[in-house]
Amino acid sequence: MAEVDARADRRSEGIVINDDWPGYSLDLFSYPAHYSGDLDCVIIPHGVIMDRTERLARNIMGDLGDHDIVVLCVLKGGYQFCADLVERIKALSRNSNHTIPMRVHFIRLRSYLNDQSTEDLHILGAEDLSFLAGKGIVGTGKTMETLLEHVKAFKPKMIKVAGLLVKRVQHSLASVPDYVGFEIPNRFVVGYALDYNEYFRDLNHICIISESGKKKYKV
């Protein structure tokens, strides 16, 4: 059986989940009964997500402690990761000599139709980000390239990107986030606020959607 590769030679690298990793059987976990038959497996259990998020929060505290930062949360898929990451940063800040004055701003990006990424990317909530001038920025969520170009125009002091998931996509030129939770195979995943046509956001674990699930919720 394939194993999860837990290499972490550099903090920017996430926990590597190999392409031949079969995932965990759904029978080992609790999940909403209305998704029965819609999922292939659990690829990252909720508890593992929480532990990894705490580690990322500690890394961010170590790098950015005492800076005034703005967290840009990319909706909708990034909201759960952002909320959990911010909570852990706040908890660490309360019990540390280093504190991070922090604000959270929400931006919505939409780039998927069914399970296919499209070139038609819409940004909502980013029209006026003048309050970012001189601040440190931690962006969370997916589809960051276009947003980063937009944010740079407002001259923040620094920009850091935190991403829970990075997919291995052949010939991809996308930049790697500064803080990565997991590096995963190029498969469509749902759960933990990641959706397929607005379904599966109520799933705590990150799972691989089944072909029957794609057909069931296709628009």
Starting at the edge strand found earlier in the chain, the sheet holding 189-190 runs 39-44, 206-209, 189-190
CATH topology classification for 47-185: Rossmann fold (3.40.50)
Q: Mind listing the pLDDT tens digit for each residue in 52-106?
A: 999 999 999 888 877 788 888 887 788 899 999 999 998 988 887 777 788 888 8
DSSP per position, 131-183: GGTT-EEEEESS--HHHHHHHHTT--SEEEEEEEEEE--TT--PPPPSEEEEE
Rounded average pLDDT over 29-44: 97
Q: Mind listing the pLDDT tens digit for each residue in 121-159?
A: 555 554 554 444 543 444 444 456 667 777 787 788 888
pLDDT value of residue 176: 78
pTM passes above 0.85: no
pLDDT value of residue 122: 57
Q: Mind listing the pLDDT tens digit for each residue in 181-197?
A: 999 999 999 999 999 99
Rounded average pLDDT over 103-118: 64
> How many angstroms separate the Cα of 120 from the Cα of each of 109, 116, 146, 176?
10, 11, 11, 22
Q: Is the pLDDT of residue 11 over 60?
A: no
